Amino acid sequence: MFNRRKFIKASALSASLFAVDRQQALAILPRAQETAAPPIVISTWDFGIAANQAAWKVLSSGGRALDAVEKGVHVPEADPKNQSVGYGGLPDRDGHVTLDACIMDELGNCGSVAGLEHIIHPISVARLVMEKTPHVMLVGDGALQFALENGFKKENLLTKESEKAWKEWLKTAKYAPVMNIENKLYEKASPTKLPGNQYNHDTIGMLAIDSKGNLSGACTTSGMAYKLHGRVGDSPIIGAGLYVDNEIGGATSTGVGEEVIRNVGSFLVVELMRQGYPPEEACKEAVMRIIKKKPNTAKEIQVGFLALNKKGEYGAYAIQKGFSYAVCNSEKNDLLIPGKSYY
Ligand code: ASP
């Protein structure tokens, strides 16, 4: 005969057994499904090759993505020949080299500096803002004061070459950014001589996944050459120049920062990846927002996005041809040009 008490007991038991089984299954399943992507680092422009190499040293020895991106972008920051990042960067219209940088880790922590003068590695100051203060962003004199208090050395970042270029520019003082100056492949492909007194911008944005499958990103620049003193671009703005969400992926940008800020570009790319867009498609959609809002401006400027998702898939898209990016993993360190651009 049917014994109700026994049935309740039995079903409670089987339910709890099922609960245990289910829990065990769930504990196993995500591990099986979410095999971490192998380490990879990607970064903007030709100078990304050397920067990736430095980042790869950290990743290949099991280091954290955050350390990798910081070490990686140190390379262009310290290179006096690079006139769009760090030491040797072209100054603003008053002759000051002012640097913008930000960094973001796998926990969503972030730090940023803007309009920082005299410090070769703004990215490391941004990291200290993240790690040592309750704030996200320090600017100008306050950022410099914080850097000096934390042992950074005050240096002259204006090289003879950049000073010469600035003085040459002052003769006409025409504010006309030139596109894609950091892409040597593009110069070779379309050997139009760029006027000597006009220089582009071009930022290094870097994204990495480490052996634990964690993502971090860094972005650092001297910004638009000959900008108004005090101008801040997209590069130190979390969500504009850089955004990382460890569940989804990361994105970074280069080009005319004002348009990236207006569209919160890197955050947009990550959110599009959250909706299922592959990295290149997400970058393309962010570029299309810029073009749709200002079609005439967009014809004249460059903006490029670079993205890496949690699976280690990457992609890029730019308004204009000529954007390059570097990809480094255990098999390669290649310089790529996005398959497509809008123009
Ligand atoms: N996004 C930078 C800025 O607006 C410049 C660049 O990447 O080209 O300052």
* Catalytic-residue membership of 98: no
Q: What is residue 74's DSSP assignment?
A: H
Q: Which residue from 102, 112, 186, 254 has its CB within 8 A of the most atoms of ligand 1, so it is best to mutate?
A: 254
- pLDDT value, residue 201: 66
Catalytic-labelled residue, pool 35, 159, 172, 203 = 203
Q: Which of 100, 203, 238 to mutate to test the pocket of ligand 1 (most atoms within 8 A of CB)?
A: 203
Residue 13 CB coordination number (10 Å): 10
Residue among 113, 234, 263 whose CB has most ligand 1 atoms within 8 A, to mutate: 234
Per-residue model confidence (pLDDT) at position 36: 87
234 lines ligand 1 (CB under 6 A): yes
Strands (E) in the chain, as ranges, are 40-44, 99-104, 110-116, 137-139, 204-209, 215-221, 242-245, 249-255, 303-309, 314-318, 325-328, 333-336
For ligand 1, is residue 322 a contact (CB within 6 Å)? no
SS3 138: strand
> What residues contact residue 107 under an 8 Å CB cut-off, 6+ apart?
246
Whole-number Å distance between alpha carbons of 305 and 284: 8
Q: Which residues pair with 243 in a beta bridge?
A: 251
Mean pLDDT by 10 residues, the chain (343 residues): 42 41 46 74 96 98 98 97 94 96 98 98 98 98 98 97 94 68 45 36 93 98 94 98 98 96 98 98 97 92 96 96 94 89 80
Coil, helix or strand for 315? strand
- By CB atoms closer than 10 A (0-12, 13-18, 19+), residue 330 is exposed
Ligand 1 contact via 220 beta carbon (within 6 Å): no
Residue partners of 325: CB distance under 8 A and separation at least 6: 42, 43, 44, 45, 48, 304, 306, 316, 335, 336, 338
Q: How remote is the C-alpha of 264 from its chain's centroid?
A: 13
What gap in Å lies between CA 148 and CA 100, rounded to an integer?
Answer: 17
- Dist. CA 2 → ligand 1 center (Å): 77
232 CA distance to ligand 1 middle (Å):
9
Give how far Cα 196 sits from Cα of 60, 166, 204, 285, Å.
40, 11, 23, 34
| R_g over Cα of the chain | 23
Q: Is 221 in the pocket of ligand 1 (CB under 6 A)?
A: yes
**Which residue has 């007194």 as its token pair?**
197
pLDDT for the residue 31: 44
| pLDDT value of residue 200 | 57
Q: Around 255, how many Cα atoms within 13 Å sit in the side-chain half-sphere?
A: 31
Mind listing the pLDDT tens digit for each residue in 74-83?
999 999 999 9
